[in-house]
């Protein structure tokens, strides 16, 4: 069975990935490797951040595999994602800085540590306070990077998969489920926020589920063709 080592300590994100991909994979995360080095997400795009996280964790796991039985065999892959919210009225912000949006200064720099969801949401609402519904268009974007743990040289970009979900920003937080900007994001054609939809409905339309579906289809296609991913 293919093992996916998910490059996150975010339990919500791990649960979403497991819910979408199902039981065809074995799952691990950074909670299984608490001593894994922290990767600074300092790249200018989500694509580059996802690749950087996957590459650095794959390198570290490859080194660890020489003496640590926790590391799976040749069928193990690192799955790293970078996701964010893009608001048209803010020229695509918070974008790549979504997790640290509240701490972002006027020069465009932010500390390495993430801001709280409440602080990020509060800042977004302040910036959009004077914008009517028709000017609150936004989208969630997810970029996945999949990289084998034990190739000869785990330094290539690996495989990239991307998904988006269009919608708009509500005027107030709604719902108690989800995480991040979920209480503020209402997908196109809906009236409920991601935080109100519940896991099953959200996973059917979310940006992450679309990227994961592309990844799953690519893996199945290669396996059916007798090739290794």
Other residues' Cβ atoms within 10 Å of the Cβ of residue 103: 18
pLDDT band, residue 226 (cuts 50/70/90):
low
- Phi, psi dihedrals of residue 152, rounded to the nearest 5°: -55, -40
Does residue 116 surpass a pLDDT of 60? Answer: yes
pLDDT band, residue 223 (cuts 50/70/90):
low
* Catalytic residue list: 82
pLDDT tens-digit map of 55-111 = 999 999 988 887 888 888 777 889 999 999 999 999 999 999 999 999 987 655 666
Copy the structure tokens of residue 20: 């979408």
In this structure, of 95-99, 144-148, 152-156, the range with the lowest mean pLDDT score is 152-156
pLDDT tens-digit map of 158-199 = 689 999 999 999 999 999 988 999 999 999 999 999 999 988
- Phi, psi dihedrals of residue 82, rounded to the nearest 5°: -130, 125
Helices marked H in the chain: 11-21, 46-64, 117-127, 194-197, 199-205, 207-224
Domains parsed from the chain with CATH numbers: 3-224 (3.90.950.10)
pLDDT tens-digit map of 9-48 = 988 889 989 988 888 889 999 999 999 999 988 999 999 9
Instruction: Give the residue-averaged pLDDT of 131-148.
Output: 96
CA distance 71 to 150: 10
Does residue 134 surpass a pLDDT of 60? Answer: yes
Does residue 122 surpass a pLDDT of 80? Answer: yes
Q: What is the mean pLDDT of the chain?
A: 89
Q: Return the SS3 of 69.
A: coil
Single pTM value for the model: 0.88
pLDDT number for residue 154? 45
Instruction: Give the residue-averaged pLDDT of 210-229.
Output: 75
pLDDT number for residue 30? 96
Instruction: Compute the C-alpha angle 111/114/117, nearest 5°.
Output: 140
pLDDT band, residue 155 (cuts 50/70/90):
very low
pLDDT number for residue 187? 98
pLDDT number for residue 104? 85
């Amino acid at each position: 069975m293919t093992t996916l080592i998910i490059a996150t300590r975010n339990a919500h994100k791990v649960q979403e990935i497991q819910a979408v991909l199902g039981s065809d994979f074995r799952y691990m995360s950074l909670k299984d490797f608490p001593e894994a080095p922290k990767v600074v997400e300092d790249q200018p795009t989500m694509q580059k951040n996802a690749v950087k996280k996957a590459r650095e964790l794959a390198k570290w796991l490859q080194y660890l595999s020489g003496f640590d039985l926790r590391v799976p065999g040749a069928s193990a892959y690192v799955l790293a994602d970078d996701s964010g919210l893009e608001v048209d009225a803010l020229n695509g912000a918070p974008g790549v800085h979504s997790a640290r949006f509240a701490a972002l200064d006027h020069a465009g720099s932010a500390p390495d540590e993430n801001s709280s969801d409440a602080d990020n949401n509060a800042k977004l609402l302040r910036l959009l306070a004077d914008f009517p519904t028709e000017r609150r268009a936004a989208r969630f974007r997810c970029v996945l990077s999949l990289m084998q743990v034990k190739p000869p040289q785990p330094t290539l970009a690996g495989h990239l998969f991307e998904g988006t979900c269009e919608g708009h920003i509500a005027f107030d937080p709604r719902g108690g489920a989800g995480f991040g900007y979920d209480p503020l994001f209402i997908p196109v054609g809906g009236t409920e926020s991601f935080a109100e939809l519940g896991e099953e409905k959200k996973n059917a339309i979310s940006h992450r589920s679309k990227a994961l579906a592309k990844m799953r289809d690519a893996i199945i296609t290669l396996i059916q063709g007798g090739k290794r991913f």
